[in-house]
Amino acid sequence: MSLHERLTAELKELEPQIIRWRRHLHQNPELSFQEEKTPAMIAEILRELELDEVRTGVGGRGVIGVLKGVRPGAVVALRADFDALPIQDQKEVPYKSTVPGVMHACGHDAHTSQLLGLASVLAKHREEFAGEIRFVFQHAEEESPGGAIQMTQDGAVDGVDAIFGVHLWSMLPVGQVFISPGPIMASIDDFVIEVKGRGGHGAIPDETIDSIVVGSQIVGALQTIASRNVSPMESVVVTVGTFHGGDNNNVIADSCRLTGTVRTFMPEVRDRAQERLTEIAQGTAAMMGASAKVSYIRDYPAVINSEKEAQVAREAALAAFGAERVKPMKPLMGGEDFSYYLGKVPGAFLFVGAGNPEKLANFPHHHPRFDIDEDAMLVAGELLGRTALLYLEKHSS
């Protein structure tokens, strides 16, 4: 039996422990940049595995475990995240969050548990592969600036040849694997537009410059970025999420404030969207006698999978699960700071279905009743493990 096949069997044997880890983390969630007990737990488990190196405090709160094979070779990194969200857990399950107003509503507890399980299995087989596997446990994926950029600045992927990560996805069927090269998740940008007009009595509009009317015109005009400023073959989303202005029904507001988000995949489209958003907001306001101050904040870049690394992952997935379970992944307009790792080294971000209506695991991510089918953790662990081993076999002499 090959190491790939034994990996599958030994992960299955470890499944009860992986589930226990996941449920413990689900009951004890910690918010981004406030993680203390979670990284301590991860580090303790990695030390018990007697890895070659365990680093804590990476980039602030991250943890890295290093497992070296029988001889030097390529270095592959595997990443999981472990922060939670400020959401009240509304599930009625034994492992419901015990922290008021905080829950794992995106699967990060499972990401961490499946990677701990994989590290536990591979640590027993270091004499059977060449090269190095680096287990990267990241804090603060959910909140900008995000833990990934901090960890990369602290050397998390220095010397790494490729990096892979898996996201469990409740809106995809459990057990299926989704892999594609190229853009897979969008860049995330935020904006604030502050419109300044001239307030006055609601019955005398001719003596005012109505900031709410100006803001409304800006909202409509911003939609032309997608329809008239970006190629139909490209993707961009411009969403105004909040609009605040005015204090009374018979008073024309002196000012109003709009906030929103812009999502794109390609850097040139991102630049164009920022340029046009600023021009449209300021130009529309000026046309109506008002002014507009635009603040544009760039958060995470787009996640763009490397062609070769995505192909390695697909080859590993096909061997493990068969063609009927391995699908291409349609790009998502959601964002992920895994992009910062891919800005340093080639790699691929993969998806594993974790949705199952029969187990009430079909609520969207960031929903107060979010949950996963825990069977997906073994699939994700096996996918990462087989991908890492295959990559090392291909790139270690």
**Is 142 assigned a ligand-binding role in the annotation?**
yes
In a 10 Å sphere around its CB, with 0-12 CB exposed, 13-18 middle and 19+ buried, how is residue 48 labelled?
A: exposed
Residue percentage of the chain with pLDDT more than 90: 99
Residues 170 and 310 in one domain: yes
Query: Is the model's pLDDT at 357 over the cut of 70?
Result: yes
- DSSP states of 117-160 as a string? HHHHHHGGGGGG--SEEEEEEES-SSSTT-HHHHHHHTTTTTT-
Residues 167 and 193 in one domain: no
Residues 360 and 262 in one domain: no
Residues 176 and 193 in one domain: no
Residues 66 and 196 in one domain: no
Residues 276 and 361 in one domain: no
Which of 279, 298, 317 finishes a domain? Answer: 298
Residue percentage of the chain with pLDDT more than 70: 100
Residues 311 and 325 in one domain: yes
The predicted model scores a pTM of 0.95
Yes or no: say if 191 and 294 are a contact pair by the CB < 8 Å rule: yes
Residues 31 and 129 in one domain: yes
**Is 108 assigned a ligand-binding role in the annotation?**
yes
Here the CATH number for the domain that contains residue 16 is: 3.40.630.10
Which of 245, 274, 298 finishes a domain? Answer: 298
**Is 268 assigned a ligand-binding role in the annotation?**
no
Residues 176 and 203 in one domain: no
Residues 287 and 311 in one domain: no
> What's the mean per-residue pLDDT of the chain?
97
Which residues constitute the domain of residue 79?
A: 3-183+302-395
Residues 176 and 194 in one domain: no
Yes or no: say if 342 and 303 are a contact pair by the CB < 8 Å rule: yes
Enter the tokens of residue 386: 């087989």
User: What is the dihedral sign for C-alpha 202, 206, 212, 213?
Assistant: positive
Residue 126: CB atoms within 10 A of its CB come to 16
**In one letter, which amino acid is 78?**
L
* pLDDT band per the 50, 70, 90 thresholds, residue 397: low
Tally of domains in the chain? 2
* List of residues 6+ apart from 195 with CB closer than 8 A: 211, 214, 215, 218, 245, 255, 256, 257, 258, 285, 290, 291, 292
- d(CA 75, CA 130) in angstroms, rounded, equals 9
**Is 367 assigned a ligand-binding role in the annotation?**
no
**Is 256 assigned a ligand-binding role in the annotation?**
no
Distances (CA, A) of 61 to 53, 66, 206: 16, 17, 57
- The residues that are catalytic are 83, 141
Yes or no: say if 212 and 245 are a contact pair by the CB < 8 Å rule: yes
Query: Is the model's pLDDT at 318 over the cut of 70?
Result: yes
* pLDDT band per the 50, 70, 90 thresholds, residue 1: confident
302-333: burial string, b at 16+ Cβ within 10 Å, e else: bbbbbeebbebbbbbbeebbeeebbbebebbb
Yes or no: say if 117 and 80 are a contact pair by the CB < 8 Å rule: no
* pLDDT band per the 50, 70, 90 thresholds, residue 323: very high
Which of 265, 298, 331 finishes a domain? Answer: 298
**Mean pLDDT of the 333-339 span:** 96
Q: At residue 296, what are phi and psi to the nearest 5 degrees?
A: -120, 120
Residues 25 and 137 in one domain: yes
* List of residues 6+ apart from 207 with CB closer than 8 A: 200, 201
Helix axes 37-48, 108-122, angle to 10 degrees: 10
Q: What is the pLDDT of residues 169-202, one digit of tens each?
A: 999 999 999 999 999 999 999 999 999 999 999 9
Q: What is the pLDDT of residues 104-136, one digit of tens each?
A: 999 999 999 999 999 999 999 999 999 999 999
Yes or no: say if 379 and 321 are a contact pair by the CB < 8 Å rule: yes
